[in-house]
């Protein structure tokens, strides 16, 4: 829809949405009182709402629109596949060129040994599938007692029964009587929060080793013979952009090998260039047995996800000599695969991963540091690739959080951002950015100036400026 809708159309969409559409992670009553925002189109790094307001999207939708909105090549690839082969499945000894080509392409981009993939339709489904495959692997290896799945505090792995059980954001559990049995948590390598959590004043590297050791302690407490897997995002995203200290992942690799625990890397956010390499596993040297990916695989243009198996799991599962009793109607959907293939082609051809690593990524971080390092309510500016976080704190010299109602300050600041036409996420009191890879320097400047105004206003409202 190229034109701006009328105000009456907006009212109509708000009314039918309020009557019939229940939104994810939303208080329905509160939303309907306030009135929902209707997004009608998008181009590059901008969204437009139905009232004609232009909004810069500092979050790439939900961390996914790597190539930006309105990419015609992706649209054309999808349209062509819709005409040529709108649907067929892979259940009955069939494949199609789009799905086979995408599997081949992924095997070339993924870390070494990850030569086999399965497809699904969302990050949650991919993680659910990964856990099933982990269980299957241990059953095939005649170690059926290995059934405990470990993951971390603040982890976000999605919302299916298993993916939500794996998630360590505690508000995700009580409504659904989760986690399921067999899911246990270990601490996250959240250095900025370490002092407040009672770990004292140690440096990041010492802290990284200490937190990895907590995984070892948990494995030993349960008994290694009962632990199936450890699932982790290379960088924790929805839990507050937690970047692991450099010492953390090498220790985790070692511990998982030592106790024969499968390592599952959830690359749903970090995959496809977000950290400045194709995969977060490459940025952090993670030796994963199974990798899940979604979002950036198609830049969000189509719902598609994948699970890749490293050599160890792949060899066993692909040679099981029996039917794999798993799969979705839409696994490897031809239209989604066609769009994903084109998306990977564009990312490669336009050298967007190198742009994130050496060009626009460093530019964003330099400008964030210049603008916020000395700000009275900024405790830390941190980031990798095109992921950035700004911790809002009452006193920038102390690593302590705002007391009372955690998250209120972040939400307050987020509202200023929205009102000025900037999408940024507030996770607790951390402001988060994950813009599209095609963002220009002047668009970065627009984000920085809007964010600066929002943080200044927040500081004033809380009597800190």
Among 194, 268, 387, 388, binds ligand PXG (CB under 6 A): 268
Among 57, 266, 289, 443, binds ligand PXG (CB under 6 A): 266
Shortest separation between residue 233's beta carbon and ligand PXG, angstroms: 5
> Which range touches ligand PXG (CB under 6 A), out of 182-190, 262-270, 355-363, 457-465?
262-270
Q: Which of 45, 261, 263, 269 binds ligand PXG (CB under 6 A)?
A: 269
Which range touches ligand PXG (CB under 6 A), out of 121-129, 315-323, 374-382, 435-443? 121-129
Binding mask 149-178 for ligand PXG (x = CB under 6 A): -------xxx--------------------
The residue whose Cβ lies closest to ligand PXG is 123
Contact 81, 58 (CB under 8 A): no
Parallel/antiparallel/unpaired status of strands 430-433 and 387-392: antiparallel
Minimum CB separation from ligand PXG for residue 214, in Å? 21
Q: How far is the CB of 323 from ligand PXG (least distance, A)?
A: 26
Residue 438 within binding range of ligand PXG, rule CB under 6 A: no
CA torsion through residues 92, 97, 98, 103, sign: positive
Interface pick for ligand PXG out of 96, 127, 331, 343 (rule CB under 6 A): 127
Q: For residue 65, state whether it binds ligand PXG (rule: CB under 6 A).
A: no
- Cα 50 to Cα 196: distance, rounded to the nearest angstrom: 43
Rounded to the nearest 10°, the torsion over CA 372, 377, 380, 382 is -50
Among 50, 115, 124, 277, binds ligand PXG (CB under 6 A): 124
Q: Which residues inside 272-301 make contact with ligand PXG, applying CB under 6 A? A: 294
Taking the least distance from each CB to ligand PXG, the nearer of 154 and 192 is: 154
Shortest Cβ 223–ligand PXG spacing (Å): 28
- The backbone region for 44, taken as left when phi is positive above 0, alpha when psi lies in -120 to 50, beta otherwise, is left
Q: Which residues inside 189-208 make contact with ligand PXG, applying CB under 6 A?
A: none
Q: Does 234 bind ligand PXG (CB under 6 A)?
A: no
State which of residues 122, 129, 247, 302 lies at the interface with ligand PXG (CB under 6 A): 122
Subset of residues 385 to 404 that bind ligand PXG, contact rule: CB under 6 A? none
Q: Which is nearer to ligand PXG, 242 or 454 (CB)?
A: 242
Task: Give the footprint of ligand PXG on this chain (CB under 6 A).
Answer: 62, 122-124, 127, 156-158, 233, 237-238, 266, 268-269, 294, 425
């Amino acid at each position: 829809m190229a034109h701006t809708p009328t105000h009456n159309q907006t009212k109509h969409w708000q009314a039918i949405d309020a009557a019939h559409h229940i939104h994810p992670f939303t208080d329905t009553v509160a939303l309907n009182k306030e009135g929902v925002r209707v997004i009608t189109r998008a181009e590059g790094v901008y969204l437009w709402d139905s009232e004609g307001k232009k909004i810069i999207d500092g979050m790439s939708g939900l961390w996914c629109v790597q190539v930006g909105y309105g990419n015609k090549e992706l649209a054309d690839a999808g349209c062509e596949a819709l005409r040529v082969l709108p649907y067929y499945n892979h259940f009955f000894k069939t494949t199609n060129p789009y799905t086979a080509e995408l599997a081949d392409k992924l095997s070339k981009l993924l870390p070494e040994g990850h030569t086999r993939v399965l497809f699904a339709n969302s990050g949650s489904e991919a993680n659910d599938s990964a856990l099933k495959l982990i269980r299957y692997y241990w059953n095939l290896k005649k170690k059926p007692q290995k059934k405990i799945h470990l993951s971390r505090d603040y982890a976000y792995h999605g919302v299916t029964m298993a993916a939500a059980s794996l998630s360590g954001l505690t508000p995700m559990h009580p409504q659904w009587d989760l986690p399921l049995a067999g899911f246990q948590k270990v601490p996250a390598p959240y250095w900025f929060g370490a002092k407040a959590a009672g770990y004292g004043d140690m440096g990041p590297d010492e802290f990284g080793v200490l937190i990895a050791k907590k995984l070892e302690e948990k494995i030993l407490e349960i008994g290694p013979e009962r632990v199936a897997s450890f699932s982790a995002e290379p960088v924790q995203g929805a839990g507050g952009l937690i970047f692991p200290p450099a010492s953390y992942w090498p220790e985790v690799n070692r511990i998982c090998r030592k106790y024969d625990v499968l390592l599952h890397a959830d690359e749903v956010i970090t995959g496809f260039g977000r950290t400045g390499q194709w995969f977060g596993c490459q940025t952090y040297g993670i030796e994963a047995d199974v990798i899940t990916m979604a979002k950036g695989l198609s830049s969000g243009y189509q719902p598609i996800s994948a699970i890749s198996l490293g050599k160890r799991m792949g060899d066993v599962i692909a040679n099981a000599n029996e039917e794999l009793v798993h799969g979705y109607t839409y696994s490897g959907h031809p239209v989604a695969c066609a769009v994903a293939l084109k998306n990977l082609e564009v990312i490669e051809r336009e050298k967007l991963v190198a742009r994130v690593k050496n060009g626009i990524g460093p530019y964003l971080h330099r400008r964030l540091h210049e603008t916020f390092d000395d700000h009275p309510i900024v405790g830390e500016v941190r980031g990798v690739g095109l992921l950035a976080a700004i911790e809002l704190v009452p006193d920038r010299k102390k690593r302590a959080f705002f007391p009372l109602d955690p998250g209120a300050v972040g939400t307050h600041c987020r509202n200023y951002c929205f009102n000025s036409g900037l999408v940024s996420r507030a996770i607790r009191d951390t402001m988060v950015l994950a813009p599209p890879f095609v963002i220009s320097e002047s668009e970065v400047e627009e984000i920085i100036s809007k964010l600066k105004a929002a943080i200044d206003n927040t500081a004033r409202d809380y009597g800190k400026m």
